[in-house]
Structure 1
Amino acid sequence: MTIEDRLVRLIETGGPIPLSTYMQIALHDPQDGYYAARPGIGRDFTTAPETSQVFGELIGLWLVHEWKAMGAPETFQLVEIGPGRGQLMADALRVALAVGGDLFADAAELVFVEPSPVLKEALGRMFSPLSPKFAATLAQVPAGPALIVANEYLDCLPARQFRRAEGGWRECVVGLSEGGRLAFGLAADEPRPPQAAALSGEVVEVQTGLDLLVADLVSRAAPVRALFIDYGPDDRAPGDTLRAYREGRQVGPLEAPGVSDLTVDVDFGRLARLAQAAGLDVAGPSPQGMFLLGLGAQARLNQLVAANPDDAEAVFTAARKLIDPADMGARFKAVCLSSPGLARPAGF
């Protein structure tokens, strides 16, 4: 039975489901969800680490700098949430181990927050010399000082969607058409939106998973610093941004549940407000291009071009995508959430 069959049966039994429930099942079902059964990096979508090695290398420098800023603890959890095929961490560790030396290498305990059996097996082989640990959620990461990195993770957190209708707000749901196919609709009753949601415009999306993420960070007693990079606005709540990708092509969000990647824009303003209200220090959100330039992207790009003259144009073009405001440089944002009292993080 496919995920679509299961969703149809669920709706037939209990009625239409919220969009967030649809996303949770389609993306994160432990057996047949997209990330469990069909991780599509490089096929359905491409991330910054897959675009240019400069991205991961600069993150490696950032990790060493922040480890020292935390007092260079003898042991700390080096955590990546949603590592995909491991390209970011591979590039980051290549630089971090060279710059931080044996002290950093001995202190870092590598942990991947990754529930996918397919990806866990591949990552275990790729990073076997470092004996990585795996956790299904951030809450399962061992206690202790932690540096956390997550690139394009927040956008896959399920979102509730609200639409203005008949003078009020209705929650977007997934039901069935007359032909028995999945179809969008609106809940009959007026919902009680999350308190932090600033409802404006005609459509607004709210990722309640951001609340849980902040709670997980706050619950860690030891010093923690978490860097999140993703796409979305920082000055307003996202509108109707739900979309799906399959084989590098945008498709309908209900067209192939479990087989296509689903994504929404991240409300960075709301994330920052939640973190501040919970007592965390917040740096950013800042445009990705400015963040990377602040870490030395131009200098690293010059080094790579000089070392690879035959591939200089390709190296330059790939790195430019990360920084150029017309490409990923402005649409993607970086935000750092930290335990109180730490120095301001590099790049902000």
Structure 2
Amino acid sequence: MADMTLKERIIRLIETDGPIPVSTYMQLALHDSTQGYYATRPGLGTDFITAPEVSQIFGELLGLWVVHEWKALGEPDTFQLVEIGPGRGTLMADALRLAYVAGGRKFADAAQLGLVEPSPELRKVQAERLTDYDPAFAGTMAEVPAEPMILIANEYLDCLPARQFRKDGESWRECVIGLDSDGNLAFGLAADEARAPEGNAASAQCVEVQTGFDLLVADLVTRADPFRALFIDYGPADATPGDSLRAFKLGEQVSPLAFPGESDLTVDVDFGRLKRLATKIGLDVTGPTPQGMFLMGLGAQARLNQLVEANPDHAEAIYNNAQRLIDPKDMGSRFKAICLSSKGLSAPAGF
């Protein structure tokens, strides 16, 4: 088994135990501890690019947002500033550069930087870039101390494994991955019927359900101390995604079954379901709102003007990169921001 590729291991698993749910395939392909994509191939800038890598304005505005929300929490003397899936540390480096200026010494002394990152390779990159801020690493949110908290997660929700269900005549069946007649990975349907989706999704032909949402909100609600949790990702504001599973390798879209462990898998985020779950369990929810509107509400135009004035030789590139984040025809509309909070806080900035 040690010399087998992840794809060969998945095929062997299916040969032994039968077809596996799409969510199990995603979990293995992305998060296998030895051969999963995030454990072995941190593909930022090659397989995909995220907003913090597009423009420094993104992280800088989130730094100002963190200071504002720290004040909304009552300026606690100590709080956990947490990022889930910090990538190369770009977002947090940009955020803290401005946050330390805006928040002053009291903020700098209060912020305890925590990075939720299971990948050993990415931890090395993050530790080097953020060494001045003495980051503490955690494998899961459960390891983060239960103190007042401000959490940021950019493009984290989209990699939570999704179960897929497809209409088959009058019944529903879960989508699975098995083997075709040549022994290659192939999509199919489970033999047993599945329960029909809830609400409006029942009229669709295919729906996706990210079960990790349930665990996420359950973890947040158990935190007695005040917190904000900001998530920025892509997906519809109030509709259940259908079949949105896709894969990217070296900047190109490829078959999700072609390169398990070697390509990035992603699905659209069901913001409506996340909002319903969080509200039902007792959290305050603000948003989702389009990323462009959120960033403009935090002062994107003013920061853009400052950067252009300070760097006139690079004005066009600075402007074009900022526009990618804000323009509804680009990332501004497809990406959404949503904030989950403990009860009793004022409305978060930017919404």
Q: Hey, what's the Cα distance between the residues in 2 that align with 1:84 and 1:197?
A: 35
1:193 Cα offset (Å):
5.6
Rounded to whole Å, the distance in 1 between the matches of 2:59 and 2:75 is 21
CA deviations on 1:96-152 (whole Å, 9 max, x unpaired) are 011111111110110000000001112112222222111111111111000000000
Equivalence map 1:131-280=2 (5 Å): 131-192=134-195, 198-280=201-283
Q: Distance in 2 between matches of 1:124 and 1:235?
A: 37
Q: What are the Cα deviations for residues 40-73 of structure 1, in whole angstroms up to 9, with x where unaligned?
A: 0100000000000000000000000000110000
* 1:158 counterpart letter in structure 2: P
Q: Give the Å deviation of 1:196.
A: 7.9
Structure 1 unaligned blocks of 5 or more: none
Q: Is the CA contact (8 Å cut-off) linking 2:88 and 2:122 kept in structure 1?
A: yes
2:21 aligns to what?
A: 18
- For residues 329 and 212 of structure 1, the distance between their equivalents in structure 2, rounded to whole angstroms, comes to 28
1:88 is matched with 91
Contact 2:38/2:119, CA 8 A, preserved across alignment:
yes
Kindly provide the amino acid, as one letter, of the partner of residue 6 in structure 2.
I
Unaligned 5+ residue runs, structure 2? none
CA gap of 1:196–1:105, structure 2 versus 1, over 3 A, is: farther
Q: Is the Cα–Cα contact under 8 Å of residues 162 and 171 in structure 1 kept in the other structure?
A: yes
Equivalent residue, structure 2, for 1:311: 314
| Rounded Cα–Cα distance in structure 1 between residues aligned with 2:173 and 2:89 | 40
* TM-score, normalised with respect to structure 2: 0.97
Identity %: 68
Find the counterpart in structure 1 of residue 47 from structure 2.
44
The equivalent of 1:289 in structure 2 is 292
Q: What is the count of residue pairs matched by the alignment?
A: 348
TM-score for both structures, normalised by structure 1: 0.98
Match of 1:64 in 2: 67
Give the equivalent residue in structure 1 for 2:11: 8
Please provide the CA RMSD for this pair: 1.1
| Alpha-carbon distance between aligned partners in 1 of 2:17 and 2:8, rounded to the nearest angstrom | 14
Q: Given that residues 73 and 145 in structure 1 are in contact (C-alpha distance below 8 angstroms), is that contact kept between their aligned partners in structure 2? A: yes
Alignment of 1:94-105 (within 5 A): 94-105=97-108
Letter in 2 for 1:140: E
Check conservation: 2:171, 2:196, Cα contact below 8 A.
no
Q: Which residue of 2 aligns with 1:326?
A: 329
Partner SS state of residue 158, structure 1: coil
Measure, in 2, the Cα distance between the counterparts of 1:6 and 1:72.
50
Q: Which moved more, 1:256-265 or 1:298-307?
A: 298-307
Is contact 1:76–1:144 with CA below 8 Å preserved after alignment? yes
CA distance 1:146–1:32, change in 2 (3 Å): same
Does the 8 Å contact 1:159/1:208 carry over to 2? yes
Determine the C-alpha separation between the residues in 1 that align with 2:271 and 2:75. Answer: 29
Contact preservation (8 Å) 1:50, 1:87: yes
Residue aligning to 1:341: 344
Paired amino acid for 1:37: T
Q: Offset of 1:195 from its aligned partner?
A: 6.0
